Amino acid sequence: MTPLRRRFLDDLRMRNLSPHTQDAYVRVVAQFARHFHRSPDQLGREQIREYLLHLIRRGYAWDTYNQARCALHFFCRVTRGKDWPLEHLPCAKAPKRLPVVLSRDEVRQFFAAARRPKGRTMLMTAYAAGLRASEVVGLRIPDIDSRRMLIRVREGKGQKDRYVMLSPVLLEALRAYWLRDRPTDWLFPGADPTKPVGRETFTRVCIGVGQHAGLSKRVTPHTLRHTFATHLLEDGVDIRTIQALLGHRSLRTTALYTFVAPEKVAATKSPLDALFATPAPPTASADACSAPVAE
């Protein structure tokens, strides 16, 4: 490892960024250097700007662009000590797309296609508690609190811990899985039992099960998380509770699910219906009240 790379890693750790963010930033800087075939300490503002334009021309997602912008700015200002305000790098406004959500029948179809017990239990955990892929694979056995019927999520997005509900159905599935596999530390260990299963591996399992189920929608762990939130909203759970369960910092992020709850949308009456509604005929009692009083 070069001294520059080591310093960059140390700077990321000192900022206490999540391991996922650290890996992403290191990957961005490495790709930036490979693009110009030069060490990143020999590249400056113009090369960063050119590289970001390259990402746009190649059609990369705007989230990828913004992540590269933040990573290269961190490397430039913190690791190399260059004075460069972040405002000098345009931040892309990412389009807001509605997430893919499964119907309840599609969720049943999805789980029925998950034949391997460990993978099925992981997928059930993601949907039952609305967890991110990194949160599922990061669970340890003590995080399952069957007495209080809670799951402790350690260091979710933003390095925040939170609690989510433990479904009785999920608890039974977890007990059956534990009796069969006997994990000792990580709830879902990988090939090396001292490490959890990889997030990428879990994502591949999820996509594969969705394809095996014959669903037309591409199912990822985040699809299950979106579906969890939408189904709660359809069941009448208030938006603040859903925000806490998902670990969202802003209620605006959670409010996205109000646009994708199809049952609530379908049940809402259009004002057009009221305009063209057929007036109800007068009732007999109303006619009697309007008739003159007999003398």
Residuewise pLDDT in 10s, the chain (295 residues): 788 889 999 998 888 887 888 889 999 999 999 999 999 888 888 888 899 999 889 888 888 888 899 999 899 888 888 876 656 666 777 666 778 899 999 999 999 999 999 999 999 999 999 999 999 999 999 999 999 999 999 876 656 789 999 999 999 999 999 999 999 999 999 999 899 999 999 999 999 999 999 999 999 999 999 999 889 888 888 888 888 888 887 777 677 766 666 666 566 666 656 767 666 566 555 454 444 444 4
Give the active site residues. Answer: 132, 157, 222, 225, 248, 257
Domain with CATH 1.10.443.10 in the chain: 104-266
The reported pLDDT for the residue numbered 291 is: 45
Fold of 3-88: DNA polymerase; domain 1 (1.10.150)
H or E element that contains 239: helix 239-246
Superfamily of domain 104-266: Intergrase catalytic core (1.10.443.10)
CA 127 – CA 173 distance, rounded (Å): 13
Handedness of CA 43, 45, 47, 49 (dihedral sign): positive
- Nearest in space to 257 (alpha carbons), one of 245, 269, 274: 245
Q: How much is the pTM?
A: 0.68
Domain with CATH 1.10.150.130 in the chain: 3-88
Q: What secondary structure letter does DSSP report for 91?
A: P
